[in-house]
Structures are given as structure tokens and as C-alpha cells.
Chain A
Amino acid sequence: MTTAASGFVSGNPGQPAFDWAAQVKDAALAGLIATLLALPLMGLQTYDIGGGALGIRTHFNWVAIAAAAVFAGRLALHLAQRFGRGRHRHRETLFTRLATWDSRWALPITAAGIIIAVALPFLPFSSRYLVDLGTTVLIYVMLGWGLNVVVGLAGLLDLGYVAFYAVGAYTFALLARDLGFSFWQALPFSGLVAASFGVILGFPVLRLRGDYLAIVTLGFGEIIRIVLLNWSPVTGGPNGISDIPRPSFLGLPFARSAPEGVTTFHQFFGLEFSPDQRVVFIYFVILALALLTNLFTLRLRRLPIGRAWEALREDEVACRALGINPTNVKLSAFGIGAMLGGFAGCFFATRQGFISPESFTFIESATILAIVVLGGMGSQLGIVLAAILLVTLPELGRAFAEFRMLLFGAAMVAIMVWRPRGLLAHREPSLRLVPRSRRHPLP
């Protein structure tokens, strides 16, 4: 383990010659460690020989393959570090340019991203599965942008963000079940109720920072989930709430047949009915919600409130000395972050049609936080990339069955090794004295 860890550090960029003997020795050592690890893990297999007793099969050929693979991989890594530096630097510049919002790179990429997102359901290779996957990615993008207000801007580590997601989802589900609200009617209420929960959580944690704050928010997330699980008369307990209404297009429902007096979407537009229409519509709803969230948070960042969030992250004592009320700043960050989570929750409920506490476990909070951190704290585009990565990787990994999470973990480790501050770690000032365009005239 130690050799593996130190290998990343010993890049040794100044060394001109490639020391074959030392590198082969290092690779051999890695191979030896792999052998020792593989011997019990892969080399020995127990099986039932009948009568409750166990026999042992040996697979020494597997051990040999593993050791050889580690040896070759280690040596290849050294060679890549020695001879592949030119390419490595090139990749750095591309990422840095993207990160520093160089207009020549980032603007076209953002525009292309939006165009691809809009065109996705109509592309020739598009399928219902792809659009569904896109919807999931966009939910996480929206949640990432919401959590970014709390974690990335205000610097308040929140491990219980899923609580607001759950509150938004259950607000809609209960309003729909008991009062017959539609998705569009319930959307503002989901945001409002989630925002008030955000402020309620904010009050007790006003004095906390860092680790302490993380633990309390983690507890809050669990409290919400356990209340939802046990308050059966209202929330349905572990059975959840089903038959949540689907969103309608300006009052036109997506259904094969509608009750008397109601025109359905396909009837109104004279189309053939297809269940895909609803899937595509739902995709566009979340796309619009996510883009609105982006505009909203980008705007807030350039306002005094956004700058106060960032100032609070940098130094709370200095904020007080400058006359900024830290209580208001923190509560507004919690409230607005929670509100955005609530909107996403409301959408989640209408998309699934069924919610239960199972959808709002800690792993969701962890995934959203990982998206924010992996994307590069505070970077909107980075969050999109991280969300795509974190949602699609486990999907791609389906082919590898039980090795899926291994692949996922390896990818996260690799990203953190290559880009320790996140994919796009760069902070764009909220305002400039000299506009960037004037400073760097385009060629």
C-alpha cells in the first residue's frame, strides 16, 4: 500500500534519465505485494464437499495473472510518467482553460452542452433509457447546484442535504394525495416548505462550523428519514406514497385515454399516443428547472448576498467586524439551498410516481456532496461534469456486475489523484474592475 501511494508522489519531473533497474525493482515489489494479497483472496476458494464440510480449491494461475498484471501496470505507469509528460501537460492546459472560463473554450462548450441537452431526445440513437438516464443526471445536476450554495459558496459542510430533497418530495406527495394538488400547483409549496426546514435546521447550527456542523446536519438528514419511516398514518411509513400525479403540459395530461371532458396531450396535438411522450416531457421539465436553478444561483453569486456567503466562508470574524450579520447570511444560505433541493424533490416525486423513505438515504447526500466536491467547489460547469460522471459510471458498470462499485471507486480515486481540487477548480470573481474581455483581447 505504501509503495502504491508513494508512487504518485515520486513523479520526479526533473530527472532526465529513466532508471530502468530501479523502476523494474519497484514494479517487482508491487507485484510481490499483489501476490501476497492475491494468495488468500484469489488463490484459495472454499467449496461445499457435502455434509456441511468445506474443501479448498487452489487457483495459483489466477494469482500469477494478478501479479503479472500489477507488475506490468506499475512499469507502464512509470513509463507513462517518464515519456508521456508532453501529452499530460496538454491535457492540463485544456482543463485549466475550461476551468478559468476562457471564453474561447468554455463558452462554446457550455452552448454545445445546452444544445445537446435540448436535442438529446430527438437524436437518432436516442432511446427511452437514454432520456431516463439524462433525467437522472439532471436531477443530480440541480441538487449539486443547490448544495453548492451551502457548501461551495457559504462553506457550510452539509451532510444531510437529502432531507430537503425528501421534504420537497413528500410535500408534493401529501398535497396531491390529501388536497388533490397537481405538480405545477405543488412546486412552489415544495420549495417553500423545504426552505423553512432549511431555516429550522440553520438555527441550532448557527454557532457550529466544519466537522461539528457536518455531524449535526448528518443527524438532521437521518431524523427526517426516520420520521418519514415511522409516521405511518401520514407518510405511509415504509410503504411510501404511490399514485403521485404526473405533470401535465399546460393542463393536458399524458395518458392513453382521459376521463370525460379532458383532452389528452396526444389528442390535442393529433399525435399517436406513445408512453415516450411523457418521458421526453419530464426530461424537458427537469432541464428547464435545472437551467433556472443555474441562472438563479449565478445571479445570486454576483449580488451582495452571494458575496456575503463567500466572505463568510473565508472569515466569519472579519464579516462581523464589517457589519455583516452572520446569522442572516447563514440562514439565507441554508434556506435557499434547501429550497432548490425541495424543487428537485418535488420533481423526483412526480417523475417516479411513488416515493418511500428508501429513496432518501445517506448515500444520496454523500453522492450529491461528492458531485459538488468532485466538480470543484463553486464551479457550475464542474458540477455538471461530475454529475454526468457519477451517474453514468455506475450505469456503464452494469456490464461488470459486482465489480461495478469497484470501478466507481477507482474512478473517484483517479480523479482525486489527477485533479485534487476537483475537475474545474477555479473561482471566477463576482465582479471585476477591468473586464476580462478588455484585458485579454481575442485574436
Chain B
Amino acid sequence: MTGASEIRQPLLTVEHLTMRFGGLLAVDDLSFATYPREITAIIGPNGAGKTTVFNCLTGFYKPTAGRLAMHVNDEILPLERIDGFKIARQAGVARTFQNLRLFAGMTVLENLIVAQHNLLMSASAFSLAGILGMPRYRSAERAAVERARHWLDKIGLTERADATAGTLPYGAQRRLEIARALCTGPTLLCLDEPAAGLNPRESGELNEFLLSVRAEQGIAILLIEHDMSVVMGVSDHVIVLDYGRKIADATPAEVRADPEVIRAYLGEDQNETLPCAIVMDSGTRRTQC
């Protein structure tokens, strides 16, 4: 992406990440790096430890060992030592969830406004200025609504802005969750299976959306995905996990030809390249082309 001549400063470096749940080694000595404005995909069979990596990155798990460092403005923030809820604000890491976690009883717009909580909370002087209806808070709220409207336009939900989030169709809820994460103003966006449950047309739209977000906001994206049309379509590099270990870390084309990746996905003695689209749902390994 950037000039090959200069040495690129990574955005996120993961070094020797290990996560153990009792006797189960979910992530085993994983190291990788992502760079600014880069889209990185983490793939692997079910139970490979992909979501565990996300949960370590966003502070839901404390890793057994290893370092997770975000490079923000020449400063290195150790994610494993920051309180979970501070990661979004301090390190600029936002995430979505494999099973949607919208505020289902609140409206679409409110979901996007809650994402800007910290900004609005300081503008409202911890509610004091807000209670008095000071102009400073009013203008901050207007700006927050404008930011929300920007993302609503992008995901095509402006018409449904005042509808209850839980009543939206599934695909729209997925898009809303991504927009909500973007409203926190992240530098790294972690998407856990954003294309799960989307039809081919919708996952095509998702590709375009992710590429345009990267182009406009200049943010890096880390995504877990089973839908190979998304993985191969947007990612700059692909990390393949199997039983918690990294078995490949290369460009999409190289990963498709990697014999060890093919072995992990299709079993031993497969003498072919990975098909252009592998869809794996709940353990079944089907190939589509």
C-alpha cells in the first residue's frame, strides 16, 4: 500500500499472545502486526481461537502471556494492561460482536449517540451543563447527531433513524453495529464475522463499505470472517489460525496456495489450491465457486 522504501510503523503489534482456559490452550504464542490503513483478515476453522484474540485485544480477556501494543501518536499503549472499557477511548480500538449486541430497545439514532458517550459526557460537564441546557452541550449534541447522520447515510438507514433497532432486518442490524463502532472514532476497527448471515449481494455491499471506510477515515480494519468472498475481496493480508497457532500470514493469493492452510481447511492429501470461496458454517466445510 504505502511506499515499500520506507520502514512502516505498525499500528498494532501482537507478540507471543497466549490465552489458556484451564487445560485448553485457545491461543498459542501468536505474533502478528497490522499497519495503518490496512485491512487484515483472521481466518481459520471454528474453534481456532479467532474470537479469543479479539476478546484479548478489546480487554474482555486478560491474556495468559504476551504483549498487545497499540501505537498511537508515537506512544505505545499496552492493551493487556488497560481496563477493558478504556480501550475504546484511549487506544481507539472499536469492535463488533459475532452475535449482534445492539441496544435493541433503543432507536437506531440512539445507538449511534450512545457510542459517542464519552465525548458528550465531557461536553455536558458530567450532566451539570446538560441539566442547565448550556449552549456548549447543545452544540456538542448537534455535532453528535450530525456524525450519526453521516454514518446513517453511509449504511442507508437514515429513513429508519427513529425506529427501534431491534425491529430492523438482520442485515441492517449488522450494518448498524459497524456504524456504531465507527461512531466511537476508532483507529482500529475489529469486526467479528461482519458478513455472517448476509446474502451474496449484501456481502458484496459490505466489501464496498469497508473499502470506502478505509479510504475516507484512514483507519485500519481487523476482521474475522468465514465468507471468503469478503476475505479475498478486501484484505491486504490474511492470518490463518488453526488450534490457536498461526499457520500462515501472507497476502490473500499466497494464503490460497499455501499447502498447510489447505490441509487445515480440507484435510490431509489435498493437492489443489483453495477454492475462490469457501464458506464454513458451524463446522461444515463446504466449497463454493
Q: Using CB atoms and an 8 Å cutoff, list the residues of chain A in contact with chain B.
A: 296, 299-300, 303-305, 307-308, 310-311, 313-315, 317-326, 427, 429-434
Complex interface: chain A residues within 8 A of B164 (CB): 427
Shortest C-beta distance, B188 to chain A (Å), equals 13
State whether A315 and B103 are in contact (beta carbons under 8 Å apart), knowing that A303-B130, A322-B88, A323-B184 are contacts in the complex: yes
Report how far A31 CA is from B85 CA in the complex, Å: 61
Q: Which residue of B lies closest to A314 (CB)?
A: B103
Q: Give bound CA distance, A322 to B59, whole Å.
A: 12
* Residues of B in contact with A, size category: 35 or more
Given contacts A304-B121, A305-B130, 11 further A-B contacts (CB under 8 A): A303-B131, A304-B120, A304-B127, A307-B117, A308-B121, A319-B85, A319-B114, A322-B181, A431-B110, A433-B149, A433-B152
Interface string of B200-239 (1 = CB under 8 A from A): 0000000000000000000000000000000000000000
Q: With a 10 A CB-CB cut-off, give which of B59, B127, B145, B180 has the most chain A CB atoms.
A: B127
A76 CA to B145 CA, complexed, in Å: 54
Q: Check A434–B102 contact: CB distance below 8 A.
A: no
Stretch at the interface among B5-13, B38-46, B89-97, B243-251: B89-97
Chain A residue at minimal CB-CB distance from B140: A304
Interchain Cβ contacts under 8 Å between A and B, 14 examples: A305-B130, A308-B114, A321-B181, A322-B88, A322-B114, A322-B180, A323-B184, A429-B107, A431-B141, A431-B145, A432-B109, A433-B148, A433-B149, A434-B162
Most buried by B among A310, A319, A429: A429
Do residues A314 and B113 form an inter-chain contact, with CB atoms below 8 A?
no
B105 and A318 contacting across the interface, CB-CB below 8 Å? no
CA–CA, A8 to B120, complex, Å?
Answer: 48
Closest CB in chain A relative to B99 CB, distance in Å? 10
Given known A323-B89, A326-B85, contact A433–B117 (CB-CB < 8 A)? no
Q: B103 to A318, Cβ gap below 8 A?
A: yes
Which B residues touch A311, using CB under 8 A?
103, 106, 114, 117
Type the 1/0 row for B115-144, where 1 means its CB is closer than 8 Å to any CB of A. 101101100101100110000010001000
B161 touches A320 (CB 8 A): no
A299 with B161: in contact, given A314-B106, A323-B184, A429-B110 (CB under 8 Å)? no
- Any A CB within 8 A of the CB of B257: no
Measured in the bound complex, the distance between the Cα atoms of B165 and A310 in whole Å is 13
Would you call B145 and A433 a contact (CB within 8 A)? yes
A317-B103 contact in complex given A322-B114, A430-B110, C-beta closer than 8 Å: no
CA of A433 to CA of B101 in the docked complex: distance in angstroms?
22
CA distance A434 to B109 in the complex (A): 10
* Chain B residues whose CB sits within 8 angstroms of the CB of A305 once the complex forms: 121, 124, 126-127, 130
List chain B positions with a Cβ less than 8 A from chain A. 58-60, 84-89, 94-95, 97, 101-107, 109-110, 113-115, 117-118, 120-121, 124, 126-127, 130-131, 137, 141, 145, 148-149, 152, 158, 161-162, 164, 180-181, 184
B162 and A433 within 8 A (CB): yes
* A169 CB to nearest B CB, Å: 26
Least CB distance, B20 to chain A, in whole angstroms: 22
Complex contact B114–A429 (CB within 8 A): no
A318 in contact with B89 given A300-B131, A307-B110, A324-B118 (CB within 8 Å): no
Distance, CA A323 to CA B118, complexed state (A): 7
Cβ contact within 8 Å between B161 and A322: no
B109:A429 contact, CB within 8 angstroms: yes
Q: A300 to B121: give the CA distance in the assembly, Å.
A: 12
Using Cβ atoms and an 8 Å threshold, which residues of chain B touch A296?
Answer: 131
Q: Are B158 and A307 in contact, with the CB atoms below 8 A?
A: no
When distances are taken between beta carbons in the complex, the residues of chain B under 8 Å from A431 are: 109-110, 113, 141, 145
Give A323 to B181 CA distance when docked, in angstroms.
Answer: 10
Q: Could you say which residues of chain A place their CB within 8 Å of the CB of B161?
A: 432-434
CB contacts (< 8 Å) of A308 on chain B: these are 114, 117, 121
Give the complex CA separation of A434 and B158 in angstroms.
Answer: 10
- Residue from the list B94, B109, B141 in contact with A322, Cβ < 8 A: B94
Task: Please tell me if the beta carbons of B162 and A429 are within 8 angstroms of each other in the complex.
Answer: yes
Asked if B117 and A323 sit within 8 Å, CB to CB, the answer is yes
Given contacts A303-B124, A429-B107, A431-B145, contact A318 B88 (CB under 8 A): no
> Do the beta carbons of A433 and B106 come within 8 Å of each other?
no
> Is the Cβ of A321 less than 8 Å from the Cβ of B95?
yes
C-alpha spacing A307/B162, complex, angstroms: 15
Would you call A310 and B105 a contact (CB within 8 A)?
yes
Q: Closest chain B residue to A316 by CB distance?
A: B101
Q: Which of B94, B102, B121, B164 has the most CB of A within 10 A?
A: B121
Given A315-B102, A430-B110, A433-B145, answer yes or no on A321-B127 (Cβ-Cβ < 8 Å).
no
Q: How far is the CB of B142 from chain A (nearest CB, A)?
A: 10
Nearest residue (CB) in A for B104 is: A314
CA distance A323 to B87 in the complex (A): 7
Flag if A320 contacts B124 (CB, 8 Å): no
**In the complex, residue of chain B having the shortest beta-carbon distance to the beta carbon of A435:** B162
Given known pairs A303-B127, A321-B88, the reply for A433 and B158 (CB within 8 Å) is: yes
| In the bound complex, CA of A322 to CA of B88 (Å) | 6
Report chain A residues within 8 Å CB of B118. Answer: 323-324
Q: A307 — which chain B residues lie within 8 A by C-beta?
A: 106, 110, 113-114, 117
Given the interface pairs A304-B130, A323-B86, the reply to whether A429 lies near B180 with Cβ below 8 Å is no
- Let me know if A310 and B131 touch, CB within 8 A: no
Complex contacts, A326 vs chain B, CB 8 Å: 85
Q: Could you tell me the distance between the alpha carbons of A432 and B165 in the complex, rounded to whole angstroms?
A: 13
Of the candidates A314, A317, A324, A430, the one whose C-beta lies within 8 Å of that of B117 is A324
Specify which chain B residues have a CB less than 8 angstroms from the CB of A315 in the assembled complex: 101-104
Do A429 and B106 touch across chains, with their CB atoms under 8 A apart? Answer: yes
B115 touches A322 (CB 8 A): yes
Q: Which residue of B lies closest to A295 (CB)?
A: B131
CB pair A325 B103 closer than 8 Å: no
- Please, how many angstroms separate the alpha-carbon atoms of A323 and B89 in the complex? 6
In the complex, the 3 A-B pairs of residues with the closest C-beta atoms, listed nearest first: A323-B88, A314-B103, A433-B161
Nearest B-chain residue to A336, judged by Cβ: B127
CB distance from B227 to the nearest CB of A (A): 22
**B114 / chain A contacts, CB cutoff of 8 Å:** 304, 307-308, 311, 319, 322, 324
Alpha-carbon distance A304/B107, docked complex (angstroms): 14
Closest residue on chain A to residue B113 by CB atoms: A307
> What is the minimal beta-carbon distance from B55 to any residue of chain A, in angstroms?
10
